[in-house]
């Protein structure tokens, strides 16, 4: 199968706040401020006259579950947090008299879940799926020139998710005033069917509410108008292509006029680029690109599921530093902000709809709603996201239990594939299959354009080609290696679990289906036609504390046997965004800038270990190890192999000889461990670790010292426990207390420890292996934010941030 795909665009809603022609009303405004919240049921709260004066005042987005507390009575599989129950939100707002006669939409980017909405006591409807954007047209129910009340009831259920879903109105809410004649919501679809070096044809499909005259303008990345017309096909000369290295973005401005007067205007951001998929690989703009991807859940660690643009931006920036060029949105549509950022940063997106269809994985899962809502939810995902140039494939599901059904599996897969193709024939479909060879034998895998293989590197090549000789194949979920940042268990052994409830960072431990990254590297190297891989996962996430607590896909399963293990160990980066050693192993394969990394730490006094296994990860040709200044010898990458203990499903043997790591066994002596990477015999990269003395001081390192005074921007402040010479103390667990004053406040704290019940919303945190994190949130007034950290027996530290 050879598929050539056109480039497409971003949001079909206005970019920012725009005014209607000849009117004083805001076209689109944030509807996040001034809500009241009540946890628990509140009979009668849908009625406008209901007294909510004693309810908690807050602004959205809001995730009530992340506030805690952690408790063993909640499912550790879902983070050990109280995400289920009933919650109510109400907002009183005025509508100007001049809005009468306009169409008014209130749009929820997402509400978790089973949202029921009322306006002035009138029931508008419900939306079960917490990841779907939805809206209500409320104009006919409003008191124009007076006060109005919107009420939202949410009722997320226990055993409804396999990971932490969050709770509440956790994404943004908007109010839009539109002329009765307007471009329909998601009513713009941009494709670029013909692209050459000198020209690109831009094709526009517009759905209009009412009747009017439509005109188009295309604005280039520099802000200049480069094409205009009234027909749906426009030509851009000398197009600047959207690419992972140069994410150029254009804007389509659609203007609607009635009798010559402008009544509506929508700006749609898009990119010009080509996608080609074939059995021999993937090409972006005609250039072969191997997918270096990660799977990401939607939560942002200590901040929970609430949408923060900066949190997603930082997450994606860290992934790009690792060498990531693609993200799989496991296993649901992400926020609008996440999609916009992928467009801006040049990250390809596999946009995924569902983790379940009709057959359940957990007792109260989405399967209960799939029959009624599945078509609408997947179509709404496509309508919302089909203009994003970053989206390059649609996933209709992950590890669906229907894989076992000879008839129903292929039938539903074809049905969902057809729904997607009806709205967007320009991109391929895929699905993550983890059962071998069932869905390939039944033809289910052949119902999508690209077969997604979860944890089947041994089936690449001839085995899968026997069933799908012409289909492209991607490693849609790979490795599932687990580790805890800064934890090194000696002697090296392949265990299932450890009494510490942590996992060794020698990067070889995983559940029965899992394997070290090296195995996937080798399989991809031997099968260059595979499109690439999506590692499980880029970041740790809340819930699913494998290998602790339970078994995946266990209906009714509580994962509390190893409490307080309550979040993921799968990430190459921990819950706070601190890289684990595995981050550098991927970086060594996925980046070109010379780098070298060494592990473990070098504080082994009194442990009883006289010889320490030392690993180096590098993209250089050779690495030399120095111990206290003396060379321990050079090793050549690809030639000097490292034996790994490996045992996973369908793998014959107990070891794997890796050419992707270099290793030495080193007699321990306090001092210095240094690695130098060489290319062409010349040193090009180095890294040194020193034995740290006793903890002596705190050092605060903000990721940004200036942030926006918008009430939502964030500064992530790394908190280091150092000795008197400034060396990180790799075993330190000192308790640190924070004071934040001025134009900001504490949003959350964390340390990356997956096995603690310390709250995220607090003014103190214990260090975990020398590090913890303070997340500072800006207020809405410009000024200085004073941050101070103290700990008994340590020299304190203060920094000053600026909210602009």
DSSP 728: B
- Where are the CATH 3.20.20.80 domain residues in the chain? 275-590
Q: What is the mean pLDDT of residues 223-247?
A: 98
User: Above 60 in pLDDT, residue 11?
Assistant: no
Position 553 confidence tier, pLDDT thresholds 50, 70, 90: low
Averaged confidence pLDDT in the chain: 95
Secondary-structure breakdown of the chain: helix, strand, coil percentages, each rounded to the nearest 5: 15, 40, 50
CATH 2.60.40.10 assigned to 3-11+181-270: yes
Tokens describing residue 459: 């089936």
At 6, the pLDDT band (50, 70, 90 cuts) reads: very low
β-strands 7-8, 182-195 pairing = antiparallel
- CATH fold of 596-690: Immunoglobulin-like (2.60.40)
- Beta carbons within 8 Å of 46's beta carbon, 6+ residues apart: 116, 118, 121, 123, 151, 153
pLDDT tens, residue by residue, 649-658? 999 999 999 9
Q: Given a cut of 60, is residue 14 above it in pLDDT?
A: no
Any catalytic annotation for residue 477? yes
State both tokens at 539.
Answer: 């970041």
Query: CATH 2.60.40.10: does it fit domain 697-803?
Result: yes
Q: For the segment 399-430, what is each residue's pLDDT rounded down to a tens digit? A: 999 999 999 999 999 999 999 999 999 999 99
Residue 17: the pLDDT is 34
Contacts of 62 (CB under 8 A, 6+ apart): 35, 37, 89, 168, 169, 170, 306
Of 276, 399, 544, 622, which is the active-site residue? Answer: 399
CA–CA separation, 384 and 379 (whole Å): 8
Flag whether pLDDT at 10 surpasses 80.
no
CATH 2.60.120.260 domain range(s) in the chain: 28-178
* In the predicted structure, residue 552 carries a pLDDT above the cut 80: no
Stretch 757-782: mean pLDDT: 98
User: What is the location of CATH 2.60.40.10 in the chain?
Assistant: 3-11+181-270, 596-690, 697-803
pLDDT value for 129:
98
CA dihedral sign, ordered 555, 559, 561, 562: positive
Question: Which CATH superfamily hosts domain 275-590?
Answer: Glycosidases (3.20.20.80)
The beta strands (E) that lie in 387-472 are given as: 391-398, 429-433, 450-454
- The residue-averaged pLDDT of 43-48 equals 98
List pLDDT tens digits, range 789-799. 999 999 999 99
Concerning whether 520 is annotated as a catalytic residue, the answer is no
For domain 28-178, give the CATH number: 2.60.120.260
pLDDT of residue 26: 58
**Catalytic residue selected from 133, 352, 477, 624:** 477
pLDDT at 612 over 70: yes
Mean pLDDT of 514-539: 98
Are 776 and 709 in contact by the 8 Å Cβ rule? The answer is no
Angle, CA of 515, 477 and 589, to the nearest 5°: 65
């Amino acid at each position: 199968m050879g598929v050539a795909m056109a480039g497409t665009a971003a949001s079909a809603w206005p970019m920012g706040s725009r005014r209607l022609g000849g009117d004083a009303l805001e076209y689109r405004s944030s509807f996040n401020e001034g809500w009241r919240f009540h946890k628990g049921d509140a009979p009668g709260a849908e009625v406008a006259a209901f007294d909510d004066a004693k309810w908690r005042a807050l602004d959205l987005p809001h995730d009530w579950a992340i506030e805690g507390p952690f408790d063993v009575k909640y499912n550790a599989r879902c983070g050990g947090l109280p995400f289920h129950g009933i919650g109510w939100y109400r907002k009183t707002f005025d509508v100007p008299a001049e809005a009468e006669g306009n169409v008014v939409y209130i749009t929820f980017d997402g509400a978790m879940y089973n949202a029921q909405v009322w306006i002035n006591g009138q029931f508008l409807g419900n939306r079960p799926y917490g990841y779907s954007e939805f809206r209500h047209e409320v104009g006919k129910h409003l008191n124009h020139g007076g006060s109005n009340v919107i009420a939202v009831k949410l009722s997320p259920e226990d055993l409804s998710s396999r990971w932490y879903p969050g709770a509440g109105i956790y994404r943004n809410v908007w109010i839009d005033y539109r002329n009765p004649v307007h471009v329909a919501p998601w009513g713009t679809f941009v494709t670029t069917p013909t692209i050459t070096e000198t020209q690109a044809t831009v094709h526009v499909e517009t759905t209009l509410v009412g009747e009017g005259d439509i005109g188009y303008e295309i604005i280039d990345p520099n802000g200049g108008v480069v094409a205009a017309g009234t027909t749906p096909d426009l030509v851009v000369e000398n197009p600047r292509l959207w690419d992972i290295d140069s994410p150029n973005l254009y804007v389509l401005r659609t203007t609607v006029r009635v009798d010559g007067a402008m009544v509506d205007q929508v700006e749609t951001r898009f990119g010009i680029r080509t996608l080609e998929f074939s059995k021999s690989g993937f090409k972006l703009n005609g250039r072969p690109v191997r997918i270096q991807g990660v799977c990401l859940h939607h939560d942002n660690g200590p901040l929970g599921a609430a949408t923060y643009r900066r949190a997603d931006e930082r997450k994606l920036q860290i992934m790009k530093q690792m060498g990531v060029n693609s993200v799989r949105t496991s296993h649901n549509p992400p926020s609008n902000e996440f999609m916009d950022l992928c467009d801006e940063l040049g990250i390809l997106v596999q946009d995924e709809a569902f983790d379940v269809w009709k057959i359940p994985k957990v007792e109260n899962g989405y399967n209960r709603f799939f029959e009624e809502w599945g078509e609408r939810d997947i179509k709404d995902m496509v309508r919302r996201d089909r203009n994003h140039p970053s989206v390059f494939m649609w996933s209709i599901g992950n590890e669906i239990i229907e894989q076992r059904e000879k008839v129903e599996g292929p039938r539903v897969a074809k049905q969902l594939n057809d729904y997607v193709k009806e709205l967007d024939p320009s991109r391929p479909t895929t699905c993550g299959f983890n059962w071998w060879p069932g869905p390939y034998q039944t033809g289910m895998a052949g119902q999508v354009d690209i077969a997604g293989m979860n944890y089947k590197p041994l089936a690449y090549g001839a085995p899968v080609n026997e069933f799908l000789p012409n289909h492209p194949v991607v490693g849609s979920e790979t490795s599932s290696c687990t580790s805890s940042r800064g934890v090194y268990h000696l002697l090296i052994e392949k265990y299932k679990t450890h009494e510490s409830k942590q996992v060794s960072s020698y990067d070889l431990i995983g559940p029965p289906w899992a394997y070290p990254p090296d195995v996937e590297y080798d399989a991809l190297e031997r099968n260059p036609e595979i499109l690439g891989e999506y590692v499980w996962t880029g970041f740790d996430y809340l819930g699913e504390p494998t290998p602790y607590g339970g078994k995946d896909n266990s209906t009714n399963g509580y994962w509390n046997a190893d409490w307080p293990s309550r979040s993921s160990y799968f990430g190459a980066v921990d819950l706070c965004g601190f890289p684990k050693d595995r981050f550098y192993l991927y970086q060594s394969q996925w980046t070109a800038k010379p780098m070298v990394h060494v592990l473990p730490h070098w504080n082994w006094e009194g442990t009883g270990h006289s010889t320490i296994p030392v690993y180096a990860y590098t993209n250089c040709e050779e690495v030399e190890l120095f111990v206290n200044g003396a060379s321990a010898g050079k090793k050549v990458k690809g030639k000097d192999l490292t034996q790994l203990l490996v045992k996973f499903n369908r793998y014959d043997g107990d070891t794997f000889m890796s050419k992707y790591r270099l290793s030495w066994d080193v007699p321990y002596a306090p001092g210095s461990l240094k690695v130098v990477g060489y290319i062409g015999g010349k040193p090009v990269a180095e890294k040194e670790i020193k034995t740290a003395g006793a903890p002596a001081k705190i050092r605060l390192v903000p990721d940004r010292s200036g942030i926006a005074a918008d009430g939502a921007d964030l500064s992530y402040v790394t908190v280091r426990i150092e000795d008197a010479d400034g060396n990180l103390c790799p075993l330190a667990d000192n308790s640190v207390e924070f004071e934040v004053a001025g134009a900001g406040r504490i949003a959350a704290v964390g340390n990356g420890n997956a096995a603690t019940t310390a709250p995220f919303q607090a003014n103190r945190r214990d260090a975990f292996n020398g590090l913890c994190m303070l997340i500072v949130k800006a207020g809405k007034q410009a000024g200085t934010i004073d941050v101070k950290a103290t700990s008994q027996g340590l020299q304190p530290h203060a920094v000053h941030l600026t909210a602009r």
